[in-house]
Amino acid sequence: MLSHTKYLTVKVPERMDFVNITGEVEKAVSESRVREGLCLVNAMHITASVFINDDEPGLHEDYKRWLEWLAPYDPSPERYHHNRTGEDNG
Same-domain status, 11 and 27: yes
2 and 46 inside one domain:
yes
Same domain, 23 and 64: no
The tally of domains found in the chain comes to 2
Containing domain of residue 90, as a range?
Answer: 56-90
Residues 44 and 67 in one domain: no
pTM of this structure: 0.76
Phi-psi region of 17 (alpha: psi -120 to 50; beta: other; left: phi over 0): beta
> What is the DSSP secondary structure assignment for residue 69, as one 8-state letter?
H
- Percent of the chain past pLDDT 90, that is, above it, reads 48
Task: From residue 36, give the alpha-carbon distance in Å to each of 3, 12, 32, 33.
Answer: 10, 33, 11, 9
Q: Are both 1 and 18 inside the same structural domain?
A: yes
Tens digit of pLDDT for each residue in 42-83?
998 877 889 888 899 999 999 999 999 998 888 777 888 777
